[in-house]
């Protein structure tokens, strides 16, 4: 009787056993591989289509190569091949990457950076395949055509609503230019990217280091015309994925330049995010930090994944204290995203890895669905954290 009550007390107090982070990551990478192979095979006979999201019944919705998300699935396959090389994964990764090769000549949007660098950039990094080099060079030239020296920024979208819109997302496309500048010994690519990042730091941020989504410039004078949103709740709100793009973008710019102003900006954004009173306990943000009805609104797993991947990189550039803080948040995010709360059931939901992302709430588009870029930055974060654990 006594023994039984002692055991009871013990079991009441015992914490549930938590899997090691290494175990979580390895299981997540295995699951991601299974899902992505199923996904790749489901589109084997549709050579001009790439995964985008799902419909309300959980069926796969695809996109054409010119969609801004087309490069993410090829990138997922490359990360998974890097994790555990196999001929099957390599053949599929090459196949999906080459589906979007013609996008290297796209000059109508800044997204050419996302499209070509997540796909061909990873193929070159992992295979050292020199056939990717002309593609990335052409894409960098294409992106550079969108730079207007009078403004000092790359124009993000061609739009009738705005004359010269620059969105915070554009920070992500600078990675291809910075890389290409070194690879092809073309200083202009870096000059464009650095000018863009500096002017964005000047005009996109509020005093609390949250950022606007869209800043519209006057193309003649380079002055700011307006500061607004497209995918956020309101012009003055903090759209969650946009904050993620900012964190990732400035961290990446510091990687290439070692310019402390970029590091300081990344850390300031991290401070804003990590201290935000409406960042939930599992560290996966609501779709907008100022969304009405918090906590009764949607999370955005894609924002969580982008922030997670960025924090892991940023942890390598700061003192021990900050580094520990960033990694602790990233660990929580990885554990959350890898749990049934955000990971799809196997062979389900179009074979995406994650669920619960938000594409564009004000447009009533892609709400609480899987998104290919959520999967990309999640798998990247898994690979980045695994490298830290293994070192
Ligand atoms: N770059 C578009 C988005 O983040 O939704």
Atom in ligand 1 nearest the alpha carbon of residue 360: 5
Q: Which of 79, 165, 66, 146 is nearest to 107 (CA)?
A: 146
- pLDDT over 50 at 9, yes or no: no
Say what the pLDDT of residue 194 is: 99
**Structure confidence at residue 13 (pLDDT):** 60
Amino acid 17: pLDDT:
83
The verdict on residue 1 lying in a domain is: no
Residue 10 maps to a domain: no
Does 146 contact ligand 1 (Cβ within 6 A)?
no
Q: Quick one: tokens of 192?
A: 């464009």
pLDDT tier at 3 (50, 70, 90 boundaries)?
very low
CATH code for the domain in which residue 202 is found: 1.50.10.10
**Contact by Cβ (8 Å): 370, 69:** no
What is the mean pLDDT of the segment spanning 149-174?
A: 97
Q: Which residue has the tokens 């001009």?
A: 48
How many angstroms separate the alpha carbon of residue 8 from the centre of ligand 1? 51
The residues near 86 (Cβ < 8 Å, ≥ 6 apart) are none
pLDDT of 2 reads 42
Q: Sort strands 214-217 and 357-360 into parallel, antiparallel or unpaired.
A: unpaired
Regarding the beta carbon of 300 and ligand 1, being less than 6 Å apart is answered: no
Answering whether pTM is above 0.75, one says yes
Residue 343 lies in a domain: yes
Please work out, in degrees rounded to the nearest 5, the angle formed at the alpha carbon of residue 176 by the alpha carbons of 173 and 177: 95
Whether 138 is covered by a domain: the verdict is yes
Host domain of residue 287: 19-390
Does the CB atom of residue 366 touch ligand 1 within 6 A?
Answer: no
Q: Which atom of ligand 1 is nearest to the CA of 111?
A: 1
- Residue 122 CA to ligand 1 center (angstroms) comes to 20
Please, which pLDDT band fits residue 15 given cuts at 50, 70 and 90? low
- Determine whether the shortest distance from the Cβ of 230 to ligand 1 is under 6 A: no
State whether the beta carbon of 173 lies less than 6 angstroms from ligand 1: no
- Considering its fold, how many domains does the chain have in total? 1
Q: What is the pLDDT of residues 31-55, one digit of tens each?
A: 999 999 999 999 999 999 999 999 9
How far is residue 266 from each of residues 113, 197, 290, 318, measured CA to CA in Å?
Answer: 20, 12, 21, 11
For residue 67, report the distance from its CA to the centre of ligand 1, in Å.
11
Q: Could you read off the pLDDT of 106-115 as tens digits, one per residue?
A: 999 999 999 9
CA of 44 to the centre of ligand 1 (A): 27
- pLDDT at residue 259, rounded to an integer: 98
Distance CA 116, CA 114 (A): 6
Question: Which residue's CA is the closest to the ligand 1 atom numbered 5?
Answer: 359
Q: Is the dihedral of CA 7, 8, 9, 12 positive or negative?
A: positive
Q: Is the dihedral of CA 234, 369, 90, 381 positive or negative?
A: positive
Average pLDDT across the chain, whole number:
96
Domain annotation covers residue 327 = yes
Q: Is residue 8 part of a domain?
A: no
Are the C-beta atoms of 52 and 65 separated by less than 8 Å? no
Residue 14 lies in a domain: no
* Contact (CB, 8 A) for 110 and 69: no
Does the pLDDT value for residue 347 go beyond 90?
no
**1, pLDDT greater than 50:** no
Q: Which tens digits make up the pLDDT trace of 265-296?
A: 999 999 999 999 999 999 999 999 999 999 99
The predicted pLDDT at position 260 comes to 98
Question: Which sign does the torsion angle of CA 79, 82, 87, 90 carry?
Answer: positive
Give residues with Cβ within 8 angstroms of 183, minimum separation 6: 133, 136
- State whether residue 143 is helix, strand or coil: helix
List pLDDT tens digits, range 215-263: 999 999 999 999 999 999 999 999 999 999 999 999 999 999 999 999 9
Residue 6 confidence (pLDDT) above 60: no
- Segment (H or E) for 357: strand 357-360
Q: Which of 139, 38, 32, 46 is nearest to 79 (CA)?
A: 32
Is 319 one of the annotated active-site residues of the chain? no
CA 85 to ligand 1 center in whole angstroms: 30
Cβ proximity of 217 and 151 under 8 Å:
yes
The reply to whether 169 belongs to the active site is: yes
| Under 8 Å between Cβ of 51 and 77 | no
| Whether 218 contacts 163, CB under 8 Å | yes
- Domain for residue 7, yes or no? no
Q: Say if ligand 1 is within 6 A of residue 349 CB.
A: no
| Mode of pairing for the β-strands spanning 60-63 and 147-148 | unpaired
Q: Is 241 in the pocket of ligand 1 (CB under 6 A)?
A: yes
DSSP result, 144-181:
HTTEETTTTEE--B--SS-SSEEEGGGGGGHHHHHHHH
């Amino acid at each position: 009787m006594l023994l039984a009550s002692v055991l009871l007390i013990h079991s009441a107090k015992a914490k549930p056993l938590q899997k090691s982070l290494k175990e979580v990551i390895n299981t997540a990478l295995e699951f991601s591989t299974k899902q992505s192979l199923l996904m790749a095979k489901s589109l084997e006979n549709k050579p001009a289509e790439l995964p985008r999201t799902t419909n309300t019944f959980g069926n796969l919705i695809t996109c054409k190569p010119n969609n801004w998300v087309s490069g993410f699935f090829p990138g997922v396959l490359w990360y998974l091949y890097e994790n555990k090389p196999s001929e099957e994964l390599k053949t599929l990764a090459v196949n999906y990457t080459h589906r979007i090769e013609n996008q290297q000549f796209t000059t109508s949007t800044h997204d050419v950076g996302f499209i070509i660098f997540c796909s061909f950039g990873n193929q070159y990094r992992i295979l050292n395949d020199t056939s990717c080099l002309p593609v990335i060079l052409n894409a960098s030239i294409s992106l550079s055509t969108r730079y207007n020296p009078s403004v000092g920024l790359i124009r993000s979208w061609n739009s009738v609503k705005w004359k010269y819109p620059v969105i915070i997302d554009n920070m992500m496309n600078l990675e291809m230019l910075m890389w290409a500048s070194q690879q092809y010994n073309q200083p202009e690519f870096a000059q464009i990217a650095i000018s863009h990042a500096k002017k964005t730091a000047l005009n996109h941020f509020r005093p609390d280091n949250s950022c606007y989504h869209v800043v519209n410039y006057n193309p003649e004078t380079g002055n700011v015309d307006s500061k607004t949103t497209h995918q956020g709740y309101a012009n003055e709100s903090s759209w969650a994925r946009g904050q993620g793009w900012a964190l990732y973008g400035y961290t990446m710019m510091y990687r290439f330049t070692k310019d402390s102003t970029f590091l300081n900006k990344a850390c300031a954004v991290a401070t804003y995010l990590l201290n935000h009173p409406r960042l939930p306990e599992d560290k996966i943000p609501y779709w907008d930090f100022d969304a009405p009805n918090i906590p009764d609104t949607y999370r955005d797993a894609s924002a969580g994944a982008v922030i997670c991947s960025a924090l892991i990189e940023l942890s390598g550039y700061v003192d021990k204290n900050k580094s520990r803080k960033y990694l602790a948040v990233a660990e929580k995010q990885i554990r959350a995203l890898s749990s049934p709360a955000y990971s799809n059931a196997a062979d389900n939901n179009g074979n995406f890895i994650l669920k619960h992302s938000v594409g564009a709430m004000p447009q009533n588009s892609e709400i609480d669905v899987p998104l290919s870029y959520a999967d990309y930055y999640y798998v990247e974060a898994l690979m980045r954290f695994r490298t830290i654990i293994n070192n």
